[in-house]
Structures are given as structure tokens and as C-alpha cells.
């Protein structure tokens, strides 16, 4: 039987292994309270929000490692840095695509490393992705300029 205690030990161990994996690839992982989990390619730095459960921190790190793996791919720039204009609909949808792929890359990495994921991985992934979708598809009314006055 998996007790809550041994479960938390497992997340802690997996989190440690994921940090070690990042280090082997030349990345630093920092845990910060109230920080939004993110990747900083310029400084090879992954930031993880530390006031979350160990499982949540581990899953966010798995996702950020998905980004790390994507950055190292030869075709990364061609695929994801080809649009200018941060807030055009096209560039937002492209970023959404990148986010989806980072979740998939992370999941594949976890499988390869033998890291255990439970159903909360899908819960977290879906919640994050729905936020990206809302952000990406929020548009100004295209005919607004005709509606003035
Ligand atoms: Zn992401």
C-alpha cells in the first residue's frame, strides 16, 4: 500500500532526479516562493514555484524540462521564433503550440527516465493549457473601429 508519507518521499526523490537531470544538461533549477514557474533560456535557468506540493513542483519541472529539450533541437528557431510581434494572433497560437509540445516532451522524458506520473499530471496540464488557450484566443473585436460614434 502506498501511504501518504512514502508518496511524498517518492515525489521528493523524483524532484531531486529531475533537478540532477537539468544540471547534467547545464541548467540550474531554482525554487522560489510565489514565483511563476518558467524557463530562462538566456541564463539556462529554470524557476519553480516552491510553495506548492512536491508533486506539483515535480510536474512543473517536468514541463519546463520539456521546454529545455525543445530549445536544444536544431529546428527550434525555425519552428517557434519565426514570427515577430509578441501579441499577434499568429504568434500567440504558435506559443500555444510550443506549450502543448513542451508538456508532451516532458511526459516523454518522464517515461524515459522511469519517473512516475499520476492522473494529477493531466489535471495540471489541462488547467495550464486552458489558461494558454484563453490568453491566445482573446481577441479584440475586428470591426470595432467601424462601431465608433
Ligand atoms: Zn511552458
Angle (CA) 20 100 91, round 5°: 115
**Nearest alpha carbon to residue 59 among 1, 136, 127, 4:** 127
Q: List residues, by chain if needed, whose CB lies under 5 Å from ion ligand 1.
A: 99, 102
C-alpha of residue 18 to centroid of ligand 1, in Å: 16
Q: What is the enclosing helix (H) or strand (E) of 137?
A: helix 120-137
Lowest mean pLDDT among 72-76, 119-123, 135-139: 135-139
Which position has the higher pLDDT, 14 or 86?
14
pLDDT band at 79 (very low <50, low <70, confident <90, very high): confident
Distance of CA 67 from the midpoint of ligand 1 (Å): 7
User: Taking 60 as the threshold, does the pLDDT of residue 149 lie above it?
Assistant: no
Task: Supply the pLDDT for residue 77.
Answer: 81
Task: Write out the residue range of the structural domain in which residue 117 sits.
Answer: 4-147
For residue 102, the CA-to-ligand 1 centroid distance in Å is 6
Q: Is the pLDDT of residue 69 over 80?
A: yes
Q: Which residues pair with 48 in a beta bridge?
A: 31
Q: How far apart are the CA of 125 and the centre of ligand 1, in A?
A: 10
Query: From the CA of 146, how far away is ligand 1's center (Å)?
Result: 37
CATH of the domain at 76: 1.10.10.2910
Phi, psi torsion values for 87, nearest 5 degrees = -115, 15
* Count of structural domains within the chain: 1
Give yes or no for residue 61 having a pLDDT over 90.
yes
Amino acid at each position: 500500500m502506498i501511504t501518504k508519507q512514502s508518496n511524498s518521499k517518492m515525489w521528493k526523490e523524483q524532484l531531486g532526479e529531475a533537478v540532477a537531470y537539468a544540471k547534467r544538461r547545464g541548467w540550474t533549477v531554482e525554487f522560489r516562493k510565489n514565483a511563476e514557474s518558467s524557463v530562462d533560456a538566456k541564463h539556462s535557468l529554470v524557476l519553480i514555484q516552491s510553495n506548492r506540493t512536491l508533486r506539483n513542483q515535480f510536474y512543473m519541472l517536468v514541463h519546463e524540462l520539456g521546454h529545455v529539450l525543445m530549445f536544444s533541437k536544431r529546428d527550434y528557431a525555425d519552428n517557434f521564433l519565426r514570427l515577430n510581434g509578441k501579441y499577434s494572433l499568429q504568434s500567440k497560437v504558435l506559443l500555444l503550440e510550443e506549450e502543448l509540445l513542451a508538456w508532451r516532451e516532458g511526459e516523454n522524458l518522464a517515461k524515459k527516465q522511469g519517473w512516475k506520473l499520476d492522473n494529477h499530471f493531466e489535471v495540471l496540464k489541462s488547467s495550464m493549457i486552458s489558461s494558454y488557450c484563453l490568453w491566445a484566443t482573446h481577441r479584440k473585436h475586428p470591426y470595432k473601429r467601424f462601431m465608433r460614434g
